[in-house]
């Protein structure tokens, strides 16, 4: 919740438990109708187990499904209604509204008896037969709320109940079950705040005078990127919501796709109060000339090739006349013995739940409970002002999911494609939807296996195929592509790419960066990716055993090399660490 680049001291008050609201006056009705349906597959699965009665599905959403637009509306309205005063309610800004993910036993119960693939074997058998509840626990939403007037951050848990009485019409209602105010933290900044910060800085008269000194009169060409202050002294304490913007300038007003990051404006120091949206400090420290216009600043086909496409690349079509090999049921995906659920959060983006592999007679084998990319950290390697404080936490400070693209068929994804939409809240509590946010499709992956008998000359060969789940996002000048690949050889691989516009700045001390063109350079950067891999117990034990064996092997190698070179093993071990670090990144 606090900006990851800030040093915080938490003074956490006790969690407030809220009593249930009145039975009728607090109901919030929505357009989405919920009905109870009897699933014949569920009944069949139940009938095959002694002592298990036929079931009626009481929920329409799996416990791991992302919050729907209707559920987000209920959660926001419930928290607003719980505000102590109108002033508190008016000051609420909704940073994040996500599913409060349930315990594993709730997920197992849902997969066993309430939702496909209906596998009662997921739960242990009890003496005298399984005891099955008539319905699952209600889904819950977790809200991170920033109060702009009081500068306070709070976390709320809202229970989302489905009302099945005929008089209610089968709608949702919300109930606050817990809330907590977190002291001395600042939640991520929102796109609304970014836009307001840019407008405030560009309207500031001393800033306009500083830009005129640099030959810039048109403020529409100026780009102001709000950067979190981080924590470098007590002045950066998270009791205040502060930003130190970086300035860039475009060359032409009629080129909306121009790379404005190719012309940094330096020598200007700005400190902005993001709570009250005012400039607190301003200094024009040094008049640094602007870099020359980049001849490749416009990267659209019309500017780079005169609007003419390349003639040496012929069309490539992916055709599946019988449709894809995967099957979709809501958020549940089945493909080549793999099955999993697709989730999405504003911070992480794509999340994979309950990844499993159906292994013949052994049945469903759990592989991972949860897979996601939880953070992307980009520290810049220049100790000079203002670049030393560039330490971007792209997930925690901006949100990978919030900045995801609406994917287009034919280039972002190719072939027979299933898209998934993503819903999240905006700063004022409204619901926004990114259509076609997650792409699911199959890809040819070369040869799976081949063998030729040298005596007979007969050969057998099989093509390989993989299932790809992906999304792409933009954080300022960086594009991130996140991909999970499932293979027919029981392999699972996740990776990311970042074809981006490199952040550059004016030349000062060349030992800290790479020179691109005259007077322009790019700082050495380390893009540190953090991935959450919550595996099943068996797989976790295997990974632990493998890691332990690898550590023992590396230590023995270090001792042996130390004896050869007559030095301490710790230096060799440090060298191994550096080598592994550079291989990983």
- The torsion of the CA quartet 167, 170, 171, 175, rounded to 10 degrees, works out to 80
Q: What does CATH list as the number for 327-535?
A: 2.70.98.20
Rounded to whole angstroms, the Cα distance separating 413 from 468 reads 10
**Active-site position among 394, 398, 412, 480:** 394
The interaxial angle of helices 537-565 and 569-584, nearest 10 deg, is 130
pLDDT band at 489; cut points 50, 70, 90:
confident
Model pLDDT, residue 293: 83
Average pLDDT over residues 129-139: 78
Separation CA 403–CA 348 (nearest Å): 10
Identified catalytic residue from 478, 480, 483, 580: 478
pLDDT of 574 over the 60 cut? no
Residue 497: in which H helix or E strand, if any?
A: strand 492-497
The rounded distance, in Å, linking the Cα atoms of 154 and 145 is 5
Q: Where in the chain is the domain with CATH 2.70.98.20?
A: 327-535
| pLDDT band, very low/low/confident/very high, at 580 (cuts 50, 70, 90) | very low
What is this structure's pTM? Answer: 0.77
Say which CATH topology domain 191-303 has.
Nuclear Transport Factor 2; Chain: A, (3.10.450)
Mean predicted confidence (pLDDT) in 103-121: 84
| Res. 515: pLDDT tops 90 | no
What average pLDDT is seen over the chain? 78
Say what the pLDDT of residue 501 is.
52
Residues of the chain with CATH 3.10.450.40: 16-182, 191-303
Check if 553 is active-site: no
454 Cβ partners below 8 Å, 6+ apart? none
Give 70-133 as a DSSP string.
HHHHHHHHHHHHT-SSHHHHHTEEEEEEEE-PPPHHHHHHIIIIISTT--GGGS---TTS----
- Give 19's DSSP letter: P
State the pLDDT at residue 535.
55
Q: What is the pLDDT of residues 217-239, one digit of tens each?
A: 999 999 999 999 988 888 888 89
Is the pLDDT at 64 greater than 80? The verdict is: yes
Quote the radius of gyration of the chain (alpha carbons, Å).
28
% of the chain residues with pLDDT over 70: 70
**3-class SS at 66?**
coil
pLDDT on residue 418:
96
Give yes or no for residue 8 having a pLDDT over 80. no
Which residue matches tokens 């911070």? 347
Hey, is 318 helix, strand or coil? coil
Q: Which residue has the tokens 């007037």?
A: 149
Tokens describing residue 17: 């438990």
Measured between alpha carbons, how far is 176 from 179 in angstroms, rounded to an integer? 8
Q: Work out the pLDDT band at 161, boundaries 50, 70, 90.
A: confident
Q: In which band, very low, low, confident or very high, does the pLDDT at 257 lie, cut at 50, 70 and 90?
A: confident
**pLDDT greater than 70 at residue 573:** no
pLDDT for the residue numbered 231: 86
Tens-digit pLDDT profile for residues 531-549: 566 655 544 444 444 444 4
What pLDDT does 5 receive?
Answer: 43
394 catalytic per annotation: yes
Is the pLDDT at 353 greater than 70? The verdict is yes
Between 101 and 377, name the one with better pLDDT. 101
Which fold would CATH assign to domain 16-182? Nuclear Transport Factor 2; Chain: A, (3.10.450)
């Amino acid at each position: 919740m606090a900006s990851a680049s800030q040093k915080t001291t938490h003074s956490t008050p006790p969690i407030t438990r809220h009593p249930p609201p009145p039975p009728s006056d607090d109901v919030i009705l929505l357009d989405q109708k919920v009905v109870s349906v009897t699933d014949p597959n569920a009944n069949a699965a139940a009938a095959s187990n002694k002592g298990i009665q036929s079931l009626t599905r009481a929920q329409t959403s799996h416990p791991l499904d992302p919050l729907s637009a209707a559920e987000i509306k209920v959660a926001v309205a419930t928290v607003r209604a719980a505000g102590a005063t109108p002033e508190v309610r008016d000051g609420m800004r909704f940073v994040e509204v996500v599913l409060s993910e349930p315990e594993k036993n709730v997920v197992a119960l849902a997969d066993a008896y309430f939702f496909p693939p209906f596998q009662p074997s997921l739960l242990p058998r009890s003496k005298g037969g399984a005891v099955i509840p008539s319905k699952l626990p209600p889904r819950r939403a977790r809200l991170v709320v920033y109060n702009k007037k009081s500068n306070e951050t709070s976390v709320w848990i809202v229970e989302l109940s489905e009302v099945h009485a005929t008089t209610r019409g089968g709608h949702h209602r919300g109930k606050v079950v817990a809330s907590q105010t977190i002291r001395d933290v600042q939640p991520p900044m929102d796109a609304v705040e970014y836009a307001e910060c840019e407008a405030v800085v560009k309207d500031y008269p001393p800033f306009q005078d500083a830009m005129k000194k640099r030959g810039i009169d048109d403020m529409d060409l100026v780009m102001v990127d709000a950067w979190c202050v981080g924590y470098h002294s007590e002045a950066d304490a998270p009791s205040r919501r502060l930003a130190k913007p970086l300035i860039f300038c475009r060359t032409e007003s009629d080129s909306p796709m121009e790379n404005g990051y190719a012309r940094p404006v330096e020598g200007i120091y700005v400190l902005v109060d993001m709570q009250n949206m005012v400039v607190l400090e301003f200094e024009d420290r040094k008049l640094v000339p602007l870099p020359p216009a980049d001849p490749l600043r416009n990267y659209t086909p019309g500017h780079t090739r005169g609007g003419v496409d390349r003639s040496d690349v012929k069309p490539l079509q992916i055709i599946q006349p019988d449709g894809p090999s995967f099957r979709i049921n809501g958020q549940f995906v089945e493909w080549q013995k793999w099955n999993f659920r697709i989730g999405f959060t504003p911070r992480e983006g794509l999340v994979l739940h309950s990844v499993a592999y159906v292994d013949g007679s052994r049945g469903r084998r759990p592989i991972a409970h949860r897979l996601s990319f939880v953070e992307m950290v980009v520290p810049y390697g220049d100790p000079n002002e203002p670049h030393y404080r560039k330490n971007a936490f792209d997930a925690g400070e901006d949100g990978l999911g919030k900045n995801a693209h609406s994917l287009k068929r034919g280039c972002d994804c190719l072939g027979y494609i299933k898209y998934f939409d993503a819903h999240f809240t905006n700063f004022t509590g409204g619901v926004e939807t990114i259509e076609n946010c997650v792409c699911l499709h199959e890809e040819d992956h070369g040869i799976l296996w081949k063998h030729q008998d040298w005596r007979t000359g007969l050969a057998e060969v099989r093509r390989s195929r993989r299932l790809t789940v992906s999304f792409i996002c933009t954080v300022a000048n960086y594009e991130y592509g996140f991909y999970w690949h499932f293979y027919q050889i029981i392999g699972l691989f996740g990776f990311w790419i970042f074809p981006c516009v490199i952040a550059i700045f004016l030349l000062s001390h060349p030992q800290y960066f790479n020179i691109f063109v005259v007077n322009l350079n790019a700082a050495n950067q380390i893009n540190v990716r953090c991935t959450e891999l919550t595996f099943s117990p068996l797989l976790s034990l295997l990974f632990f055993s493998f890691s332990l064996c690898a550590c023992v092997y590396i230590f023995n190698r270090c001792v042996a090399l130390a004896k050869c070179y007559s030095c301490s093993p710790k230096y060799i071990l440090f060298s191994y660490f550096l080598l592994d670090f550079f291989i990983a990144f």
